[in-house]
Amino acid sequence: MTDISHWQGFDIIGDVHGCARTLEKLLEQMGYARVGGVWRHPQRQALFLGDIIDRGPRIREALLLVRDMVEAGSARCIMGNHEFNALGWFTPAPPGSGQAYVREHTDRNLRQIQATLEQFEGYAAEWDEFLDWFWTLPLFLDAGEFRLVHACWDHQVIETFASQYPDATPDVEFLQASVERDSFADQVFDRLLRGIGMHLPHGLKMKGGDGVVRGMFRTKFWEESPETYGDLVFQPDALPEHIAIRPLTYRQKRELLFYGVDEPLLFVGHYWQQGRPQPLRPNLACLDYSAVKYGRLVAYRWSGEERVLPDHFVWVDVK
């Protein structure tokens, strides 16, 4: 469990995705200032939910800002699926796996990391340093009174993983083991960094707003008594109506993960929310509001409260 006694409060920040200037505005808005080249607050610490890289216009600047804060002690950062993807892109797959790298070099995967690679052209040594830094990012943070994970908190997965990796940071061997589909390593990364998915019925597929065709959708992990597919969907793209009204089977309901209402506060990113930032439930908030898609870069200012308070959300609208 992480010691939080040193600070008067924490500012939990959603997916940055290379929006460095917007991040500076958000930090300034919350009372941080650049001191000795590093953004700092006199009483509070920033906590980043991962996904600092990819997509945005100033990825290198965002990484420099966040890493310098972490190394100076004015921030902490957990791993997002995009940092995991970057490690997988450069990590050789284990022999006999049938692929060259942990993350296969397909056109789709290249599109996701392309902006990062392009912005680090001419900075190869610096990029290598950031890859080394990604290995130090934990997959979750449990502060007792609140928790952070990029996409989904799964007690069983986290407890088992933490028994092997007490600092919550995976090593090369664990990353390589994730190549095997449905292995424990694959489950850890997929569950914690991407969330829970449910397959569309009858092998159906749908095209998302990002242009990717998928046969599954991301689901809530806090819905107490869902009855239909529509009760579970948690992503920007709505399900077609004839699928949304489809009843869940008894087996599907039994296999659902549930984060209880009496659990500590939980903050996630990842899910591309829209509109005015607000709690998902009294003990749960998503802080990813699509900053890189001209949405909002959002933070939550935690100061000891036991429930997520609507007026503790702060944000910068991305023009």
59-72 and 107-119 helices cross at what angle (nearest 10)? Answer: 70
Q: How confident is the model at residue 307 (pLDDT cuts 50, 70, 90)?
A: very high
What rounded mean pLDDT belongs to the chain? 94
At residue 10, the 3 state secondary structure works out as strand
Q: How confident is the model at residue 154 (pLDDT cuts 50, 70, 90)?
A: very high
The residue assigned the tokens 């935690």 is: 302
| 303, 9 Cβ separation under 8 angstroms | yes
Quick one: pLDDT at residue 1? 67
Mean pLDDT of 124-140: 98
Quick one: pLDDT at residue 206? 80
Q: Nearest 5 degrees, angle CA 196-CA 52-CA 134?
A: 85
Both tokens assigned to 175: 């990353």
Quick one: pLDDT at residue 194? 95
pLDDT tens-digit readout, 264-280: 999 999 999 999 999 99
Quick one: pLDDT at residue 189? 97
Given a cut of 70, whether residue 4 has pLDDT beyond it is no
pLDDT tens-digit readout, 213-231: 888 889 999 998 999 999 9
Calpha distance 217→202 (Å, rounded): 14
The residue assigned the tokens 């609507």 is: 310
Q: Model pTM?
A: 0.94
- Regarding predicted confidence, which is higher, 236 or 314? 314
| Reduced DSSP (H G I as helix, E B as strand, rest coil) percent helix, strand, coil of the chain, to 5 | 35, 20, 45
